[in-house]
C-alpha cells in the first residue's frame, strides 16, 4: 500500500473519502506539513495501491489498512482526520484501537451506511436522472451537486481539474463496487467507547448531497463533540474552503500544546466570524438559511497534471 509522510511535528493521519486517495488532500498537505507530520495513503485498490486485492476493500480490511499506515510509519498515536465515508473507517479505528487515536476530526461524516439513507433526496433524484449517462458524465453531475452553488463560477476550471485528477486515479469498476458494498453494509456501532476523546465535527453550510439527518445522528451519538459549520461550501469543505478547514484542524491539533491560545482561535472562520457552537446549532442554521448570498473570494484550485 502506498503511504507518504510529509513534514515534522505532531502526527496527523488523513483518511480519504470513498474512491479517493492521497491526492484528495492536495489542499491540506502543503500548509499542514509546515506545522505537523502529515500521513497520507492510497487505500487498497485506489491510485498507487491499485494492485491490492479486492478482499482488502472490506470494512475490517479498510480499518486494518489505516492501522498499517500507522505501523509502517512508526506512529504510536495521532490525530485522525477523515472525509465523508472515510469517517466510517476513522470511527472503527478509534473504537478498535483507541490508543492510536488522540483526536478525531470528521469532515462531512454521518452515521448511516445505506445509500438511500446517506444521500439527500436531491442526490437520489440526480442519481436516477443520470443513470444512463457514461461514468465520466455521471461523475461530473455528482461532483457538481457536491460543490456549493456558485463555487464553480467563483473558481473557473476547478471542476474540470478535480475530475481530471479523479479520472487519473479512479479505481476499477469492481473496486468502486466493493467499496460501495462495504459502505452500505456498515452498521453504526455504539460510540460510547469514544467518550472523553476530543472530537471535532466539521460540516459545509451548503451541503445538498448528504441527507440532513446523517450529521445530526452523528452529533447525537457524540454529544461531547464540538460541532462547527464551514461557510460557503458544500459536501467537500476540505477542497472548497481549505483555508477555514486547515485552520480549524490545525488549531484543534495544537490545543494540547497551547490550549489557551488555541481556545481563542479555533471557533473562527476565514472572515474572523465565530462558527456555530453546539448549543446554538439550530439558530445558526436558520440564520444561514435566511442569509442572502455573499460569495467569498476563493483561491483557485491549483492545476494538477494527469499521470
Q: Is the pLDDT of residue 107 over 80?
A: yes
Q: Is the pLDDT of residue 80 over 50?
A: yes
Give the helix, strand, coil percentages of the chain, each rounded to 5. 50, 15, 40
Q: How far apart are CA 232 and CA 237, in angstroms?
A: 9
Q: How far apart are CA 33 and CA 6, in angstroms?
A: 6
Q: How far apart are CA 120 and CA 207, in angstroms?
A: 9
For residue 15, the surrounding DSSP H or E stretch is strand 11-15
Q: What is the rounded average pLDDT of the residues 134-139?
A: 89
Q: Is the pLDDT of residue 93 over 80?
A: yes
Lowest mean pLDDT among 67-76, 230-239, 298-307: 298-307
Structural domains in the chain? 3-290 (3.40.50.1820)
Q: Is the pLDDT of residue 276 over 70?
A: no
112 grid coordinates: 448511516
Q: How far apart are CA 69 and CA 42, in angstroms?
A: 10
Q: pLDDT by residue (tens digit) across 169-228?
A: 888 888 888 888 888 777 778 898 998 899 999 999 899 999 878 888 888 889 889 888
pTM of the entire structure? 0.83
**pLDDT, the chain, mean:** 81
* E runs forming strands in 63-209: 78-83, 101-107, 199-204
58-61: Cβ within 8 A, 24+ apart: 58/178, 58/182, 59/88, 59/89, 59/92, 59/182, 59/185, 59/186, 60/92
Q: When comparing pLDDT for 184 and 77, which is higher?
A: 77
Q: Is the pLDDT of residue 146 over 90?
A: yes
Q: How far apart are CA 64 and CA 47, in angstroms?
A: 18
Q: How far apart are CA 167 and CA 114, in angstroms?
A: 25
Phi and psi at residue 256, in whole multiples of 5°?
-65, -30
Positive or negative, the Cα torsion across 227, 229, 234, 236? negative
Q: How far apart are CA 244 and CA 89, in angstroms?
A: 24
Contacts of 244 (CB under 8 A, 6+ apart): 230, 231, 233, 237, 269, 270
Q: What percent of the chain has pLDDT over 90?
A: 39
Amino acid at each position: 500500500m502506498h503511504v507518504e509522510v510529509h513534514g515534522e511535528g505532531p502526527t496527523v493521519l488523513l483518511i480519504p473519502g470513498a474512491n479517493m486517495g492521497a491526492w484528495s488532500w492536495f489542499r491540506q498537505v502543503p500548509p499542514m506539513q509546515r506545522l505537523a507530520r502529515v500521513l497520507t495513503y492510497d487505500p487498497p485498490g485506489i491510485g498507487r495501491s491499485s494492485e491490492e486485492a479486492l478482499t482488502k476493500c472490506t470494512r475490517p480490511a479498510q480499518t486494518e489498512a489505516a492501522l498499517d499506515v500507522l505501523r509502517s510509519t512508526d506512529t504510536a498515536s495521532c490525530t485522525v482526520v477523515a472525509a465523508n465515508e472515510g469517517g466510517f473507517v476513522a470511527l472503527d479505528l478509534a473504537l478498535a484501537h483507541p490508543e492510536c487515536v488522540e483526536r478525531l476530526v470528521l469532515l462531512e461524516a454521518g452515521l448511516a451506511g445505506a445509500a438511500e439513507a446517506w444521500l439527500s433526496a436531491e442526490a437520489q433524484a440526480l442519481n436516477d436522472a443520470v443513470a444512463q449517462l457514461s461514468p465520466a458524465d455521471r461523475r461530473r453531475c455528482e461532483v457538481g451537486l457536491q460543490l456549493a452553488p456558485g463555487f464553480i463560477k467563483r473558481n473557473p476550471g476547478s471542476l474540470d481539474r478535480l475530475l481530471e485528477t479523479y479520472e487519473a486515479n479512479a479505481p476499477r469498476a469492481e473496486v468502486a463496487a466493493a467499496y460501495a458494498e462495504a459502505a452500505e453494509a456498515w452498521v453504526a456501532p455504539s460510540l460510547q467507547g469514544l467518550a472523553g476523546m476530543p472530537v471535532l465535527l466539521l460540516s459545509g453550510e451548503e451541503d445538498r448531497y448528504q441527507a440532513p439527518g446523517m450529521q445530526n445522528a452523528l452529533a447525537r451519538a457524540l454529544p461531547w463533540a464540538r460541532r462547527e459549520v464551514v461557510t460557503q461550501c458544500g459536501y467537500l469543505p476540505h477542497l472548497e474552503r481549505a483555508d477555514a478547514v486547515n485552520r480549524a484542524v490545525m488549531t484543534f491539533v495544537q490545543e494540547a500544546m497551547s490550549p489557551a491560545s488555541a481556545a481563542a482561535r479555533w471557533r473562527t472562520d476565514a472572515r474572523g466570524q465565530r462558527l456555530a457552537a453546539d448549543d446554538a446549532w439550530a439558530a445558526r442554521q436558520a440564520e444561514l438559511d435566511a442569509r442572502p448570498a455573499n460569495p467569498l473570494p476563493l483561491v483557485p484550485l491549483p492545476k494538477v497534471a494527469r499521470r
